[in-house]
Each structure stands twice: as structure tokens, then as C-alpha cells.
Structure 1
Amino acid sequence: MPRPPPSPPTPPLFFVLTTVVFLILVAATVSEDSDPESDCTNKWIHIRHLPPQFNLHLLTNCSQYPLFDDFCPYLSNHGLGQKTHNNSHSWYRTDPFMLELIFHRRMLEYPCLTSDPNLADAVYIPYYAGIDSLKYLFGPEINSSFNHGLDLFHYLVHVDSPSIWRNYQGHDHFLVMARPAWDFSQPLSNDPPIFGTSFLELPEFFNVTALTVESRAYPWQEKAIPYPTSFHPPNLAYLESWINRIRKSRRSTLMLFAAGGGISANPNIRRSIRLECDNSTNLNADATGYAKFCEFVDCSNGVCEHDPIMVMKPMLQASFCLQPPGDTPTRRSTFDGILAGCIPVFFEDLSAKKQYGWHLPEEEYSEFSVFIAKEDVVFKGLKIVDVLMSIPRTEVRRMRDKLLEMMPRIMYRKHGSSLGLRSKKDAFDVAVEGTLQRIKSRIQEFAYQ
């Protein structure tokens, strides 16, 4: 379990240099025979060889975007961040926007890599799109955000082995973009540009599969994959130890709301939740078996983002975790809650059901979550407490068991993890498997065009 922060942070330059040097060393040693016993039929992936201006060099600017954050401390451990305390083996201060680094590091140990693009079933572009977008979102090129991605496209198509792209016009390529797709979806016609870049609006990239932490409802080219949490176990024993802790945890709170916002005078779901949570202190919870009906953890201004103990401890003590939309429909908190065995309560389908189909199959949502329409709460006076209290305890236990069964699929295990843990598919494995299936389908369609 995470503990309060220990020693002073290591200098940012050390994080950058360590990450850069290690990634280069790993990239130089990984090959397609790294796991000779793997069945790689229809699973071969080729990694495009990008110059460091598209990934590693971007990390050296980690402190140059004060309007965003100084993300230098989160580069350590190849994007997992610093350990929560010196003796931690599984818990890190992970920033979700470092998913591009985490995914890249894991891809370098993927067992079915090939150096021959002609043998590959898919082609990975190790481009740190979200980090590169910062110069357009918060930096000096804010008025040129429609250029985001054009240099990459020129390199892929005209500089580095153009035939790799030309084989399928990019249909076999994929990349990771560690921000909501909305941040890359500014129409090219916007003049002057507003917040966001136009990467996903460029016709040049329409054929590429983009793995984002949140997708839009309509474009086919992007697919949402889980936000990274702070839990990255290195072996099966640490995962099983955490699962045992969840099973033994006493759920003394009916529902938990860990978030910011909800203070606006205008009607909205977060405001309704805050008001109901405040008023629940006047209700008698003793007869229900709960010590309290609702707990609110104030995560305003990102104070919970890199301190997992602030949310994990109360989540372990709650039966249900409320997951209303905020600035965008999805929340990292959804995956933090699942990790704590706290049953998610959703208020709109775009918060998860229409997002993470590979990791959280849509047809299974009733087995591990609760849905309450936000309009019923905000405008019709429906009480969330009443809905949750009406669920039988046996059903609550069954839903939690389902969460524990699903948990490995939504976490990103630590790179270099043990063979036993690798036998369980994690969020990376599921994302790669889904990407390969999607690309196979797209290539078949392309062949008949």
C-alpha cells in the first residue's frame, strides 16, 4: 500500500538521462527471438525507427511548460514515476500522461517483434504524441497547432523506408496518444486555433490506429485504452497480495466521491453529488451496516494525482465509487476504483461503456458496475443513496468478485515482470491484442478496395 512521500526528488536531468540511455540500450538488444517459445502467428510487430526528436529528445523539455506541469519527476522508471516510498515494489507516483513512455518500454520487450516490416502484422510508431503536443497546447507554437504531426508524416512517408508506409497506406500502423482524443481534434478550419491540435483531423493519419485514454464517439481510427494507475506489480505474488487485501477490506462507507469541482451554482451531476454527500451526514447509517453513507475526497487542483494513498485508502473502505463526467467523460479514478474493488457508478455511457470495449466488454457492465442516468439525479431528484441501498448485499459481493477477476486487464504491470505475472493479460497485452485484430480487419478491407 502506498505511503506518504519519503526522500527529496532526484534531479530532473537524472530522470531524463536515465530514461534515454536505458531505452536506447533496450532497443539495441531486443529482437524477435526474445521469447522463442511464443506463438507469434499473426502477432508480429515491427517498430518504426524514429529519430529521437520524435520521442526521447522531447523528454528534455519536461520543465518548460509551466502552464501544464513540470513532468520531470514522472519520467523515472520509464514513465511509472517515483516509488511512493523507498521500500515499495508495486506502487508509483504515476502520471497518466506518461502512458506513451510506459507503452514504449513494454513494447520493447514484446515477444513477437520483427526487424523485417514485410513480415509484420502491425507496425508501431514510437512517437510521444501527447508530450509533443505540449508545445502547441501550452508552449510557443500555440498558433500553429494545425502542424502537429506533419513532420512525423513526412519522415514516415518520405525519409525512412517509404515502402513500409506505402504497403498499406498506414492501415497497419498504430501509435499511443496519452491524452483524450479531443485534445488532438481541433478542426483544420479554426482560425485562429483554439485549444487542441489537429493531429487526428489530418487526412494523412486517417488510416492509423490511435490508442488514446479517451476516444470520441464517432471516428473509427481511435480506440480508448485504460489510464495508467499507480499500481504496477513486478510479479504474481504482489498482485495476489493486493487482491487478498481487497477481499479482507471492511467496506464501512456506502459510496465515495473522489474528485474536484461540484461547486458551481449551475445544475450538474457533480454539484448534485456534492449536495447529496453533504446531506447524507444527517441520515442514520447505523441500521444499514455502514458507518456512513457518503465520503467526499477533495481532489481539486490535482492534489490526488500523484499521491495514491489519498484515494486508495478511502476507496478500499467504500462499496461504491461515483464516477461522474468532468471536463471530459472519462476519469482515471474509474481504474483506481476498480483496483480497490470499489464498484464504479457511472452516470453516462461515454464515461466507460462506449470507451474501453477491449478491456471492459460492453455486455458485461451490469456484472461489475451500476448505471444511474445523470438527468434523473440532476433534474428529477433521484437519490443515489436510495439506488445503491436497494442493491442486495449478495449482489454487491458478486460485483466485487467480478472486479477482482477483471483487475489484471486494467492495470499496467511493471516492465521486466516475472513469467508468472506475464501469464495474466494486463492492459498493455489487451491493447496490443485488440490493435492486431483491428489492423487485420482494416488490411483485409484495404485489399478489396
Structure 2
Amino acid sequence: MAFWTQITTIFFFFIKTHLFLLFIINSASSQRILNTESTSNPTTTEDCNNRWIHIRNLPSRFNLDLLSNCSEYPIFDDFCPYLANHGLGQKTHPKSRSWYRTDSLLLELIFHRRILEYPCLTNDPNVANAIYLPYYAAIDSLRYLYGPDVNSSFLHGLELFDFLQSDEPGIWKRNMGHDHFLVMARPAWDFSQPLSNDPPIWGTSFLELPEFYNVTALVPEGRAWPWQEQAVPYPTSFHPQNLAFFEAWIQRVKRSRRTNLMLFAGGGGIGATPNIRRSIRNECENSSISSNNNSNSSSFNILEKNGMYSKICDVVDCSNGICEHDPIRYMRPMLQATFCLQPPGDTPTRRSTFDAIIAGCIPVFFEEMTAKMQYGWHLPEDKYAEFSVFIPKEEVVFKGLKILDVLMGIPRSEVRRMRESVMELIPRVMYRRHGSSLGLRTKKDAFDVAIDGTLQRIKDRLANVLDR
């Protein structure tokens, strides 16, 4: 019996390794093919003025080789199952057309695959307006955060810098890194440990290295003083491949009956310490009990008076990450809710913000670092009042302000306008599937907006350098 168990284990290990190698081979082949197509397509030349991007040729130890360690960090997670479909993950269902079990950590791989389709790639770095570094920084950081190199996290990035200095150093020296950019699929705080920390605490020091001060880093969450980094949306599970699938989802969002006033999908808030998540849970629980048991309660009266809501508040418990790769748990409730509450947690930002927008659910923010001070390219700061609600968390936690009172005070006509504004944002915050149809490519998605913003940022920086 033990013999057959051993044989079975070896067999499945062989299959897993074989599939992984096929993945790498296919990725490498795609890069060569797509680079050739992008640089030889004469129809894009006029449209590519000031938009040329050169992909820096990095050794595979900086990207694809890192994926082979996908199961080596048990304290973190095994992200091997989510490598499928070039980082989009497996489909949520075999017949699913647009929905995947996407892991946010693989934004670097998703971005790398998409940039291979960018129409303005050039093999000549001297004519490029921006240089892309296909370095999987967040995946590489796992060995410092959860692996054997935890006590040398100040070294993170130095190997990459040494390579950039030794291999075609003129590419870097031309603008001293000001024209380089990369994607880092973890909050910037995870790469911001001071070099002086001895012994090291949480995080690596990549963004604290003077060598990378000039590089633009695209992260899912930036710091309050974003000199180096710019926040881009977390990847959701929605990745349509053609215009028909996208428009079918938009129609579903439009037709969805919003029978729940407000929804919170997340964890936390169960301890005794006062915080916004605890306040949300308490208000939801109290409104549910009151409307069910007391016909004289304010919650019951609101339901009776309003007529459009059958529930005041709903909570989708996503504790311990159970929702992370299972969008069905929260997307259906979001489609039925008018407002989706977005309280900060361990960090200010939330992937749930973008899930809510995809579902046409109006986000409710409780601090500006959750989104307004983060995603200026994708969610314009001057438009927030048109698509979201802001309630200061201090007013709720310490002064007794009821979220319900604020939301019920918004006129129905205004709610309808806000939802329309939310739906207009859906293309800007989704990452469409690689290899998508030409029709869908006419709608700029999160990747397209990020590229536009990066090119403009680099252009402005280089202009400032010349002025000095």
C-alpha cells in the first residue's frame, strides 16, 4: 500500500511539474511572438508617438523562475492553483465566460502578459518613452516576508539593480531610472522598511533603496506621500474576453433588483476594541433584529415607508480569506445591494472597492486613504461625490452617527445618478482577459489607464529633470 501511495505521489508531482513547464514555455513563446507583432505592425506607428515602451530583457530568475516556488511558503499560501490562464486563475465554473479565481498577488503576471499585447512596443530602448521591468517583486518578496531570507530583507532589489548596471548599462544611465517602471503586487508599505532597522521587522526595503528612488512603481496601495509609487486597482475576478460578454454583464448589473440597502463583505470587527468594522457589524445586527422583532422600530418603519428594500443591512463574512478566490460568495449579494461599505482594515485600501464597482454597488468610504488619495488615474478625485459616499469613521465610531441615517437621507434620484456613474467606471477598474477581441479593446480598462498614467508621469518627471 505504501508503495502505491509513493508511486501516486510521484505521478502527481510529475504531472504538476510538466504542466508548469508548459506554462513557462508558452509564456516565453508568447513574449517572442507578440514582441514581433507589436513592433512590425505599421498601422500603429502614427498612434505610438510618445507612447513607445521597451520591455527590459531580464533573466528568468527575476520573473518566471519565481513561479516555481509557488508552494514553498506555507505560512503565506500556496498560490500554484492561481497561475492558470496567465495569472487570472482557474475559471469559477467550467462554463464560466468571464469569471476567474484571481489572486491579487499575481497582478505582476497579469500585467506582464497584457503588456506583451501592447501595440507600441519597441526593441530599441533609445527610442522608448518608458522602460518596463518585468520583475515579479511581490512574489520575490515572499522569501523575505515568509521564507528563509527574513533577516536579510534589506537586500531585496539589489540583485536586480546589479543586473541593470552590468547588462546594457546605457539603458539605465540614459535617464538614471526615471523612465523605468514596474508592478509590485503588494501595498507599498510591504516594501518600505527603513534600511536602519536592525534586526529587520516586517517588510523589505526595496522602495527605501536610493538606487530605485527614480523608478515608478505601480502598486495596489500607495503611501501618503507617493513619490515613487502610484496605486492601481486590485484585480477583481471579472476578466471578459469580448465585447458581448462585457455588455451582457453590464445588462445584468442594470437589471439587478437592489433589495438590500447596504452590504458589508469582509472580516474583522468582532473584538471589543472600538473600530469602524465593529460599528458596522453592530449596526447591521441591530437593524436586522429590530426589523424582524419590533414593528415599531425605526428600521421596520424605514422598510415600510421606503418599499424598495426588503433588508436594511447584510453582512457577508469573509473572515480568514474564505471569499478571496470565490467571487460567488460576495458578488451576488453585491448585485442586490445599493450601497457597499468599504471600511479600512489592516491597511486602508480594499479589493472589495473594485468588486463593488463591478457589481454596480455604490461604495461608501470611511477614510480618504481607502481610495480618494490612492487611485487618481482610475477614479478621478474630483468625481468622488458623483459615484460614492464618504462618512468619516470617527463620526461613526466615537460620535454615534448612524450609517443608515446618512444613506437613507440620500434622495432616490441621486442614488440612481450615483449608480449610473458607478457603472461608467466598470471598464476602468476591470482587467480584461489577454487576447481579448478588438471590440472590447476600444474600451480602456485598468491596464490601459495605468499605461497612460505611467507614460504621462514619466514624461513629466523627465521634463522636471531637464528643467533642473
TM-score by length of 1: 0.96
> Match of 1:74, as an amino acid?
Y
Q: Distance in 1 between matches of 2:99 and 2:41?
A: 27
**Aligned equivalent of 1:375:** 394
**Aligned equivalent of 2:190:** 183
- 2:207 matches 1:203: no
Structure 1 residue runs without a partner (length 5+) = 1-7
Shift of 1:87: 1.0
Pick one of 19, 27, 36 that aligns with 1:23: 27
**Aligned equivalent of 2:277:** 270
Q: Distance in 2 between matches of 1:27 and 1:352?
A: 33
**Aligned equivalent of 1:105:** 113
**Aligned equivalent of 1:280:** 287
Please say if residues 39 and 123 of structure 2, whose CA atoms lie closer than 8 Å, have aligned partners that are also in contact: no
1:377-392 matched pairs, under 5 angstroms: 377-392=396-411
- Per-residue CA distance 1:44-68 (angstroms, 9 max, x = gap): 0000000000000000000000011
**Aligned equivalent of 2:415:** 396
Q: Distance in 2 between matches of 1:14 and 1:229?
A: 29
**Aligned equivalent of 1:416:** 435
1:328-347 matched pairs, under 5 angstroms: 328-347=347-366
Shift of 1:15: 5.2
Please say if residues 251 and 316 of structure 1, whose CA atoms lie closer than 8 Å, have aligned partners that are also in contact: yes
- 2:444 matches 1:425: yes
More helix by share: 2
Partner SS, residue 316 of structure 2 = strand
Q: Distance in 2 between matches of 1:309 and 1:47?
A: 36
Partner SS, residue 321 of structure 1 = strand
Pick one of 66, 85, 99 that aligns with 1:58: 66
**Aligned equivalent of 1:327:** 346
Q: Distance in 2 between matches of 1:189 and 1:84?
A: 45
1:4-23 matched pairs, under 5 angstroms: 12-13=16-17, 16-23=20-27
Shift of 1:264: 1.5
- 2:159 matches 1:141: no
> Match of 2:399, as an amino acid?
K
Q: When the two structures are aligned, how many residues end up with a matched partner? A: 440
Pick one of 137, 162, 165 that aligns with 2:169: 162
Residues 187/386 of structure 1: CA separation in 2 closer, same or farther (3 Å cut): same
TM-score by length of 2: 0.92
Please say if residues 35 and 112 of structure 1, whose CA atoms lie closer than 8 Å, have aligned partners that are also in contact: no
Q: Compute the RMSD of aligned alpha carbons.
A: 1.3
Shift of 1:440: 0.5
Pick one of 354, 369, 387 that aligns with 1:350: 369
Shift of 1:21: 1.2
Q: Distance in 2 between matches of 1:379 and 1:396?
A: 27
Q: Distance in 2 between matches of 1:322 and 1:97?
A: 24
Moved more, 280-289 or 73-82: 280-289
Moved more, 288-297 or 360-369: 288-297
**Aligned equivalent of 2:39:** 33
Shift of 1:207: 0.1
Pick one of 235, 238, 244 that aligns with 1:237: 244
> Match of 1:332, as an amino acid?
R
**Aligned equivalent of 1:260:** 267
Partner SS, residue 68 of structure 1 = coil
Q: Distance in 2 between matches of 1:297 and 1:346?
A: 17
Q: Distance in 2 between matches of 1:131 and 1:271?
A: 33
> Match of 2:316, as an amino acid?
V
Q: Distance in 1 between matches of 2:185 and 2:16?
A: 21
Q: Distance in 2 between matches of 1:343 and 1:365?
A: 11
Please say if residues 181 and 218 of structure 2, whose CA atoms lie closer than 8 Å, have aligned partners that are also in contact: yes
Shift of 1:12: 4.6
**Aligned equivalent of 2:87:** 79
Q: Distance in 1 between matches of 2:225 and 2:451?
A: 22
- 2:337 matches 1:318: yes
Q: Distance in 2 between matches of 1:18 and 1:320?
A: 44
> Match of 2:444, as an amino acid?
K
- Per-residue CA distance 1:75-98 (angstroms, 9 max, x = gap): 010000000111112100000110
Pick one of 124, 128, 135 that aligns with 1:120: 128
Runs of 4+ in 1 over 6 A off after TM superposition: none
Q: Distance in 1 between matches of 2:89 and 2:78?
A: 13
**Aligned equivalent of 2:225:** 218
Q: Distance in 2 between matches of 1:58 and 1:35?
A: 32
- 2:265 matches 1:247: no
**Aligned equivalent of 1:3:** none
Shift of 1:404: 1.1
Partner SS, residue 37 of structure 1 = helix
Residues 14/337 of structure 1: CA separation in 2 closer, same or farther (3 Å cut): farther
> Match of 1:124, as an amino acid?
Y
Q: Percent identity?
A: 68
Structure 2 residue runs without a partner (length 5+) = 1-11, 291-298
Shift of 1:448: 2.9
Please say if residues 53 and 129 of structure 2, whose CA atoms lie closer than 8 Å, have aligned partners that are also in contact: yes
Pick one of 177, 199, 202 that aligns with 1:192: 199
- Per-residue CA distance 1:142-185 (angstroms, 9 max, x = gap): 00000000000000112x10000000000000000000000000
Shift of 1:11: 6.2
